[in-house]
Structure formats: C-alpha cells, structure tokens
Amino acid sequence: MAVLTCHPAHPPALVRSVEFRIIGFDANWLRARWKIVGCGKLSVPPFAGKGRADGLWQTTCFELFLQSPDGPAYTEINLSPSERWNVYDFTQRREGMSERPMPREPECTMRLGSDMAIFDAAIPAGGLPAPPWRYGATAVIEEEGGVKSYWALSHTGDAPDFHDPACFLEEVAAPSPA
C-alpha cells in the first residue's frame, strides 16, 4: 500500500487520506485500488458509459503512470468513476503524447460509503508496456463547491505535476502467471 500526499497548495475540504495499492497483476489484468477516507463531500462524475475521453482530470479521477527504468518514455492511465478512461504514451516528460492502443476497455467500479470510498480498476495487461516499471499513483479529488485536491506519491514543485518523474517512486516486477 502507498499513502498519497495532497499537494499543499490545494488542500481538500473533508478528505483525510488517499491510499493506493496494486491488488493483482497477472498476464491478463493489472488490478489497482484507490481508497479515499473523508468522502462526505466527494463529487463523483455521473455515469457516462465506457469509452475513451480526454480531460478526465478536470474532476474526480484516478491516474497511474508507468515508466520503464530504461528511459524517459512513460504511459499515463486515466480512469474515471463515470467509466470513461484513456491511456496515453509520452516520449518524455509532457512531450510526444499519443493515445495508446488497448485490446479492451478497463473495468472500473466506485463504491461510496458515508466516510470511505473505494475505486477499483482492472486494466488489460496486454495493452501495457512490458514491465518492470516504476510507477506513480495519483488522484484528482473534487469535492462539493469545486474544491479540488491533487494527490500523489510525491510533490516536487509549487504546482501539482503528476508527470514529474520524481513522482514515479514505486516499482512493479513482471506479472504472475494467469
């Protein structure tokens, strides 16, 4: 489990913590979970049906950045509680962006309780770059009144920047057999 930290320039209203963990990785799926504690004012985008979409970071969404230890290229996975998603490849930090082909759509589920929310995602492993990776797990959390907080493993600048390679802190090895 990794505890994400909120960027100090964008404090949340009620959210007290965001945690991330990879709950499974095999030849078919990378399964990830984000847990939000203090979700009483969480704004969840309405169901929009599966499909690619841009700009998911403009409201509550969950992101995962994967980077090979061999170079500056990385993959960004954006997942929304609306069930919209997108996956991008970058040749280096914020440059050379292109949509990454995926063999099928990710599966996403959001469960809301009175104080805790869980967002689970299953990402098709066949559409991901070959491991091993360093990863950065992030979340944009919007609460009532348009309050947005930006959560990551690390923050290095005056403004949130999830693309900063200094935020790709955790490592993932090759998947287990299916």
Domains detected in the chain:
2-172 (2.60.40.1190)
Whether 178 has a pLDDT exceeding 90, the answer reads no
- Averaged confidence pLDDT in the chain: 95
Q: Using alpha carbons only, give the angle 1, 65, 161 rounded to the nearest 5 degrees.
A: 100
State the pLDDT at residue 134: 93
The per-residue pLDDT for range 93-103, each reduced to its tens digit, is 999 999 999 99
For the segment 78-84, the average pLDDT, to the nearest whole number, is 97
